[in-house]
Chains A and B, each alone.
Chain A
Amino acid sequence: MKRTKLRFAAPLAALGLVIAACAGDADEPAATPEPAPAPTEEANPWDDLAEDDFLGRALAGAYEGRSVSVFGSERSEVEAGAFNDTLALFREATGINAVYTGSADFEPQLNVMIQGNNPPDMALIPQPGGVRGFAQAGSILAVPAAVVERTNAQFPSGTNDPYVVDGETYALRYKTDLKSILWFNNAIFADNGYEIPDSWDGLKDLSATMIADGITPWCVGIESGGATGWPFTDWMEEMVLRLVDENVYDEWTAGDVTFSDPRIVAVAEEILSVWNTPGMVYASGGTIAATPFGANAEPLVNGDCAMHRQAQFFASFFDTAGGTIGPDGDVGVAYFPAGGDGRSPVLTAGNSVGAFRDAPEVWALMTWLTDSEGQEARQRAQAARAAAASGEGAASGFMSSNTNLDPSVFNPVEQTWYETLASASPARFDASDLMVPARNRAFWDEGTAAVNGDKSVADAFAAIDAAS
């Protein structure tokens, strides 16, 4: 009989064990929202601070020992490394342990995490369209007003407008890219006496001259894995700003002007007629659509082509390709010429920080990252890593539009970009990033089809309108 009884005992014990194990697992996630145990007898150093001065309280040590998980798409040694360095500084100052995870499959991963009710505490989201989608679905949290106010005061007005839905701000700009940059091979320009023109027509004339001189004017490549086509959408945006105007650009972004609109179609046809001119484009992958966007750095340094249009972050690609940037380097930098009507539009992009867990330490980190201190820290860390990887003075690839920064954290070329960002008018955010994700992807895919000649521009753009 004892045996019979004991037979029950062992499995019962094991069962209890399992339940306890499951229950025990709960402590880690559950413990974080609780205030850290603090000595109650003495006054805390942060007691005088306002309830919503998250960063102030964090710096005073109120959230010591807590953790924040951050998810993003940056993975390279330079970028992700610099971000980790930044978070380490934050940890030193506040005792909050912020952990960054980068993924090449950032967008799908984030969607899966949100769908699975297991989002990161914070994410670095490149696309405002995505942020707004999350906001409408109720999965991302509105940033507390105090944090928004404090950050907005440091940026040009309207910087965080793309992240506003129904009066609430759901994310804050972290990094800002300056897109309207023309990179050119200094040697080719110097040897042939070429000048950077000040209009699109001038640029076309210069290209024709180059072809006549036996030089391939442009490097273009739009392949980028799952995001193939985005460099074409950038060209589209630059040219809509230049050949039409910023008001149409805004309506087009909002969907009030369709892709089938003759003005938009005309812009695309203008771009493609240039690209498809024989001898115009050097595409190291055989065709524009098959050439990775990053593979344009090396031919420009080597002189296989004379010019390339890409955002300021492309500087780090030249570092990797062994080229130096600046008037005395291999690759020169200029403002991508305006339309020729007196306006000098600037296209920007960037990423933003959004939060998925409502906790003071999360808001503290968000405040600090967007604050001039956090932005300078990132630039310093990234410049140091870029220098270690590609030599002293290399461009970091990071850029900020925070107006409170000490310009000396940038190298001379970067300083000109920083000034352009601070003073640009009209400045517009990347249109495709502002569109809802389905429309953005259709723009990429159908744009690629048009570039590759699979479809006419009219057919491809009609398909974008139909796709979302």
Chain B
Amino acid sequence: MASMTSESPMTERPTSERERSVDGGGSGRTLLVSGGLFAAFLAASFVVPTAASEAGAVVRTLQRVLAGAIGAGGVLGALQAYRSPTLSVTRRVARLVLALAGTGLVWWLYLDRDGVRGAVHSVVLALALSASLFVLANRWLDQSLRAWARFTGISGAVLGLLLGAILVGNDAMGLFLGTVGSRVDRSVWLIPVVGVLGAAYGVAIGGTQGRTRLMVGVVGGTGFGALVGAFLRTGSLPSLDPVGLVGATAAVAAVGALLARLRGRDLVRGALLGAAWGWLLGAFGLPELGTGTVGEAIIASSVLGGLVGLRLGLGPTLEMGDRLRIEGRIRTVIFLAPALTFLGAALIVPTLRTVYISFLERGSGDFIGLENFAFIFGQPSFYDVSAWRGIFASTEFLAFAFALVAGLVMAVRQRRNIDGLVPPRLVASAAASALLLAGGLADRSGAFDGLPVAAWPIVAGLVIAVLVAVMVDYLRRNPGNSGFSGPGGGFIGVAALMLSFAVFVQLRGTLFNNLWWVVLVTSTAAGLGLAIAALADRARAESAAKSIIFMPMALSFVGAGIIWRFMYLARPQQDPQTGVLNAIWVGIGNLAVSERAGTAGTSILVIAALLALFAVLALRQGALGTGWASGFLAIGLAWLGSLFLAGEGAAGVQVVDGDPITTALLFISGTQQFGAYNNVFIMIPFIWVYTGFAMVIFSAAIKGVPADLLEAGRVDGANEAQSFWRIVLPQIRPTIGVVITTIIVVVMKVFDIVKVMTNGNFGTQVLANEMWNRAFIDANFGVGSAVATVLFLSVLPVMYVNIRRIQKEAA
């Protein structure tokens, strides 16, 4: 018998007849055994005290009945496990014992649900729920091939139960949601009744054909509708408007017919389905609910039921092929259902709800359109572009222009050294950059003050736009030999960073802070991660170094924020500095004004001279990066040494009128000292944490570069730098994309670090914290949701790019 279920569906029909006759006695015995077991366990549940002693009589009875059902079901399952004929006796006994033990455990958990046992019980139940839903859905679908009427009957019963539950309203649903205690709604009986009716209707529709089915469909559907109408809650009674009703029905019916036509389906059935939707819209969607009478409700829902019934009754008799198709389609949906439910409940519904709330007024909940968005963009603390003209005369802009000129000139030189070419586009770009530098200097000195409108900012903006376009095009056409591998590229990177500084120091507010985070943190974390991964690759103590750099990743952002708050700590000038950075800063200053300042200054100058010598040697050898870096360091040290020798103080201590004045650096609150750059000090913990992440991924990617490629490069005479820029980098490009988009998404929603370090004070607010403050502190969920929506919309493009790339890689 057991093998019967796995037989092919096509041969099922005849055997199922036989089964029924043969199995009559068997199922009777089963019934007897189950009944007996059930009664026994029910009786036992009266003897064993239930835990929830405060439960009302109804709930307590229900609990006992179900305790009985659990016990009976479990023992039956155990017996079934024992009866499996293909297994050895030992295994069958083992299965029996296991199943009985499991049943006992669940029963025990169930009867005393306090504390840990209650928690375990919940877990067991959740698993049982998922499993049983899944199994039941499959069993139900099997019926669609074996016995169509049974299939439609079960479907009808399930739909009927649901409909009944909905009809009884929130209180009946509360039975499932846990809000019902003593006041079980009077009309709970409606649920099983509608369920049974639904089952009968399903059986009738599935078991009849032709005209009979049409009759059954229409009559049953109308009756169902009338029932629904009669039990509608008073708050949902519609007041019918004939014009709107007919209009909506006709319009949607036409749409339905059109759709059916387009999809090559039956025109009449499409129109009927459309008419049903249209009637639903016209009867319940358009008019104000709660103003009508029960009569109107009965009319509205019985016509609706009749239309649906007509549609059900009209269909052709289903052949096995149709049934297979239907079964396959539903099975797909059911397999996906858990994932779709989860996505829907956890992601899509909250997202849509947030967007919806962003259109509502805080207290009243009235729809106010985009007013919340207008409000947040009207706040200077959120969005302030008033200083935009300042971008093009700022120090950062001049640094940008200078770095651009330097980078382009170096690129030109590199191209000339390598292939003897001088690309005209690079030369023109360098000239344009020089123009930017000159213009910025002129604007700063006030040369453009007399001009109408903002002539210089507009010109500069256009020049930058053209420059970017030209450079992107150039890079695309000259991959691999652009001339930017080496210090030239480094300067271009610095230029881009400087431009972003110029922009974000002038454009202020929460929105721009977030963008600054994205630009600076992403580029720095990814850049540092890549540099470390490349430099540490195959070096000595590689894994130790990488472990140390990766370690901050184990910290929460809250922890990182607190640690860095201590790093940045400043104390009043008369107290010793306890923050690490200020201790160094003031320590250098104290050394500079102590009696050993001369010795210290001379030593620093000696070190600077040695470094300068090293830089010259490195540059001669063609190690450009090392050379430039040492050079800059040498200049810095020489300057510091000269300050020491001058005796005017340095770093944290300056001599004013003969007295040393200590000034600690107020990193995070230091808007007086650092202007908007205090934001950067809050980004550093994030970079510190995420550099490790980027490094690990890049390291894995670099190790994945095929060794024969590197070998071939070396044979061709490439040095380490060249093989990195020309072989490794192109190979790990997809990884770079992944790391950058990942970091962008994480940075976009940065919250904890800002919350811990400044809570958005001192001009460091970010979107997520603003959203939190608006929604949860001000209790203004409308504005809070508007900020959340802005954040969501700004993450979308990044997600889109990410998903597109994943799709491309998959293809």
Q: Which residues of A contact B (CB under 8 A)?
A: 1-31, 34, 107-108, 111-112, 114-115, 130, 133, 136-137, 225-226, 228-229, 282-287, 289-290, 304, 436-438, 441, 445, 448-449, 452-454, 463, 466-467
- In the complex, the answer to whether B73 meets A449 with C-beta atoms within 8 Å is no
Q: How far, in angstroms, from A5 to B501 measured CA to CA in the complex?
A: 72
Q: Are B136 and A15 in contact (CB under 8 A)?
A: yes
* A-chain residues with CB within 8 Å of residue B755 when the two chains form the complex: 226
**Closest B residue to A37 using CB positions:** B54
- Judge whether A20 and B669 touch: CB under 8 Å: no
Nearest residue, chain B, Cβ from A7: B139
Residues of A within 8 A of B76 (CB): 6, 9-10
Bound-complex Cα distance A24 to B26 (A): 35
Closest to A18 in B: B129
Residue contact A441 to B777, C-beta cutoff 8 Å: yes
Q: Complex: how many Å from CA A48 to CA B69?
A: 49
Which of B30, B55, B136, B363 contacts A24, CB < 8 Å?
B55
* B66: contacting residue among A8, A17, A111, CB under 8 A: A17
Distance of A323 Cα from B59 Cα, bound (Å): 60
B776 touches A111 (CB 8 A): yes
Is B279 interfacial (CB-CB < 8 Å)?
A: no
How far, in Å, is A93 (CB) from chain B's closest CB? Answer: 23
Is there an interface contact between B363 and A137, defined as CB atoms closer than 8 Å?
Answer: yes
Assess the B34–A437 pair: CB atoms within 8 A: no
Quick one: given A284-B575, A290-B666, are A3 and B1 in contact (CB under 8 Å)? yes
Cβ–Cβ < 8 Å partners of B638 in chain A: none
A285: chain B residues at CB < 8 Å are 569-571
Q: List 28 A-B contacts (CB under 8 A).
A: A2-B27, A10-B77, A11-B132, A13-B69, A14-B131, A17-B66, A18-B126, A20-B63, A21-B110, A21-B113, A24-B62, A25-B178, A26-B181, A34-B182, A114-B779, A225-B759, A226-B759, A228-B759, A228-B761, A287-B570, A437-B779, A441-B777, A448-B761, A449-B761, A452-B669, A463-B379, A466-B378, A466-B379
Query: Is B23 part of the binding interface, using a Cβ–Cβ cutoff of 8 Å?
Result: yes
Min Cβ gap B505→A in Å is 14
Evaluate contact between B672 and A453: CB separation under 8 angstroms: yes
- In Å, the complex CA distance between A242 and B121 comes to 64
Provide the bound-state CA to CA distance between A287 and B128, in Å: 60
B54 in contact with A2 (CB, 8 Å): no
Q: Are B572 and A6 in contact (CB under 8 A)?
A: no
A23, B175: Cβ atoms closer than 8 Å: yes
**CB within 8 Å of A: which residues of B?**
1-2, 4-5, 19, 22-23, 26-27, 30, 34, 52, 54-56, 59, 62-63, 65-66, 69-70, 72-74, 76-77, 80, 83, 106, 110, 113, 121-122, 125-126, 128-129, 131-133, 135-136, 139, 174-182, 363, 378-381, 569-572, 574-575, 664, 666, 668-672, 755, 759-763, 772-781
Q: In the complex, which of the residues B571, B761, B774, B780 has the most CB atoms of chain A within 10 Å of its own CB atom? A: B761
A282 touches B777 (CB 8 A): no
CA distance A385 to B76 in the complex (A): 61
Min C-beta distance of A117 to chain B, whole Å: 10
Query: Nearest-CB distance from B787 to chain A (Å)?
Result: 13
Report the bound CA distance from A306 to B513 in whole Å: 40
Task: Please determine whether B666 and A286 come into contact, CB atoms closer than 8 angstroms.
Answer: yes
Contact B778 A289, beta carbon cutoff 8 Å: no
What's the minimum C-beta distance from B124 to chain A, rounded to whole angstroms? 9
Task: Report whether A27 and B181 are in contact in the complex, using a CB–CB cutoff of 8 Å.
Answer: yes
CA gap between A441 and B27 in the complex, in Å: 72
Q: Which residues of A contact B106 (CB under 8 A)?
A: 17
| Known interface pairs A1-B26, A282-B572; 6 further A-B residue pairs with C-beta atoms within 8 A, sorted by A's residue number | A11-B136, A20-B63, A21-B110, A27-B52, A226-B773, A287-B570
- Out of B54, B575, B666, B672, name the residue touching A28 (CB < 8 Å): B54
Quick one: which of A17, A24, A284, A463 contacts B59, CB cutoff 8 A?
Answer: A24
- The minimal Cβ–Cβ distance linking A299 to chain B, given in whole angstroms, is 9
| Contact yes or no, A286 B571, CB < 8 A | yes
Q: Which residues of A contact B759 (CB under 8 A)?
A: 225-226, 228
Are the CB atoms of A286 and B572 closer together than 8 Å?
A: yes
How many angstroms from the CA of A31 to the CA of B56 in the assembled complex? 8
Chain B residues within an 8 Å CB radius of A15 = 128-129, 132-133, 136
A287 and B669 contact, Cβ closer than 8 Å, known pairs A14-B132, A108-B772, A111-B776:
yes
Residues in chain B near residue A20, CB distance under 8 A: 62-63, 65-66
- Contact between B777 and A31 (Cβ–Cβ < 8 Å)? no
Q: Which residue of A lies closest to B53 (CB)?
A: A27
Contacts of B182 in A (CB 8 A): 30-31, 34
Partner of A10, one of B1, B73, B122, B133: B73
Q: Which of B34, B139, B180, B570 contacts A26 (CB 8 A)?
A: B180
Kindly name the residue among A24, A130, A453, A454 whose own CB sees the greatest number of chain B CB atoms within 10 A: A24
State in angstroms the CA–CA spacing of A165 and B760 once bound together. Answer: 33
Out of B27, B69, B178, name the residue touching A23 (CB < 8 Å): B178
Residue of B nearest to A454 (CB): B671
Listed residue (A23, A25, A436) with the most chain B CB atoms within 10 angstroms of its CB: A23
Report Cα–Cα, A122/B59, bound state, in Å.
Answer: 29
Bound Cα distance A285, B578 (Å): 10
Measured between beta carbons, the chain B residues less than 8 angstroms from A2 are 1, 23, 26-27, 30, 80, 83
Q: Which single residue of chain B is at the shortest CB-CB distance from A468?
A: B778
Cβ-defined contact, B139 with A8, below 8 A: yes
Nearest chain B residue, comparing its CB with the CB of A453:
B672
| Bound Cα distance from A228 to B760, whole angstroms | 10
Which chain B residues lie closer than 8 Å to A229 at the CB level?
761
Contacts of B363 in A (CB 8 A): 133, 136-137
**B669 lies within 8 A of A26 (CB):** no
Report Cα–Cα, A178/B177, bound state, in Å. Answer: 47
A27 and B54 contacting across the interface, CB-CB below 8 Å: yes
Inter-chain contact A18/B128, CB cutoff 8 Å: yes
Partner of A27, one of B55, B66, B72, B572: B55
A290 touches B669 (CB 8 A): yes
A441-B773 contact in complex given A11-B135, A24-B55, A30-B181, C-beta closer than 8 Å? yes
CB neighbours (8 Å) of B175 from chain A are 23
Q: Which residues of B contact A437 (CB under 8 A)?
A: 777-780
Q: Please give, as numbers and ranges, the residues of chain A lying within 8 Å of B132 by CB-CB distance.
A: 10-12, 14-15, 18
Q: Which residue of A lies closest to B19 (CB)?
A: A1
Q: Is the CB of B69 within 8 A of A16?
A: yes
Q: How far is the CA of A436 from the CA of B774 in the complex (A)?
A: 12
CA distance A39 to B30 in the complex (A): 48
Cβ of B26: which chain A residues have Cβ within 8 Å of it? 1-2
Chain B residues with CB under 8 A of A463: 379-381
For A6, the chain B residues whose CB sits under 8 A away are 30, 76-77, 80
Report the separation of the CA atoms of residues A445 and B762 in the bound assembly, to the nearest whole angstrom.
9
B69 near A31 with CB under 8 A, answer no
Contact A29 B181 (CB under 8 A): yes
